[in-house]
Structure 1
Amino acid sequence: MGHRIYTTSFASVYPLYVAKAERKGRTKEEVDTIIEWLTGYDETGLERQIANQVDFDTFFASAPRLNEDRALIKGVVCGVRVENVEEPLMREIRYLDKLIDELAKGKKMEKILRGGES
């Protein structure tokens, strides 16, 4: 049995990511850049996934190209060390949470994207 976040619509959480970033003076565009870097979605693909209200499971399963450098994401988010998360889908979700957290904490985009734009 999977965690309930797996069946939660990505579109319902996306505005929370944007709000968290904007509260700290960052932008929706930066959130989108992070998501696109992590998943390989382009702007149109990301918008389509949001409009279709896909769940997290589908969102990550349909990702065009999960970034190989995501394995460089380390640290703690929500009290969990992301690199130690065993369940693959939960690890992808935690990677995204960690990147949004880093954005909100004021980290430079180059560092968040692990040194690369794509």
Structure 2
Amino acid sequence: MKSTSHHDERIAQMTFASVYPHYVSKVEKKGKTKAELHRVILWLTGFTEEELQNTIDQKLSFREFFEKANLHPNSSKITGVICGYRVEEIQNPLTQKARYLDKLVDELARGKKIENILRS
């Protein structure tokens, strides 16, 4: 599956606040907690709880969200397929970061050990 500029721009303009409830719902349906979700998001982005809440309250786009983020040095170790894309092969840096987040949420929902999700 090939990424397109239209697809990349759609992700860039989407607000994190609009996707966040879906992340919560996905992990809670599988018996995980919002706190575990936050741990994964905070690990990837370098945000504090307060900064994460501010990004939600301010309805930041994914572009703005990841501009404020300080991606974890081990984020490049996130590999695999999500939404039909191999995350390690995505060319657009912003789309790749968004897919990193999607992949981590998916791994949490599927019951992967938190130590493995956090690439520690």
TM-score by length of 1: 0.94
Supply the distance in 2 between the matched residues of 1:69 and 1:97 (Cα, whole angstroms).
16
Supply the distance in 2 between the matched residues of 1:31 and 1:57 (Cα, whole angstroms).
20
Partner of residue 21, structure 1: 27
Corresponding pairs, count: 114
Matched, 1:6 2:20: no
Shift of 1:3: 2.1
| Structure 1 alignment gaps of length 5 or more | none
User: Which digits, 9 at most, give the CA deviation of each residue in 1:77-101, with x for residues without a partner?
Assistant: 1111000000000000000000000
Supply the distance in 1 between the matched residues of 2:27 and 2:60 (Cα, whole angstroms).
22
Matched, 1:96 2:97: no
Shift of 1:56: 0.3
Matched, 1:36 2:27: no
- RMSD between aligned alpha carbons? 0.9
3-state DSSP of counterpart to 2:97: helix
Query: What is the correspondence of 1:46-61 to structure 2 with a 5 Å cutoff?
Result: 46-61=52-67
Shift of 1:5: 1.7
Partner of residue 68, structure 1: 73
Q: Percent identity?
A: 50
User: Which digits, 9 at most, give the CA deviation of each residue in 1:96-118, with x for residues without a partner?
Assistant: 00000000110010000001xxx
3-state DSSP of counterpart to 1:3: helix
Partner of residue 91, structure 2: 86
Supply the distance in 2 between the matched residues of 1:78 and 1:49 (Cα, whole angstroms).
24
Supply the distance in 1 between the matched residues of 2:103 and 2:14 (Cα, whole angstroms).
18
Q: Which runs of 4+ in 1 moved over 6 A?
A: none
3-state DSSP of counterpart to 1:89: helix
Letter in 2 for 1:80: Y
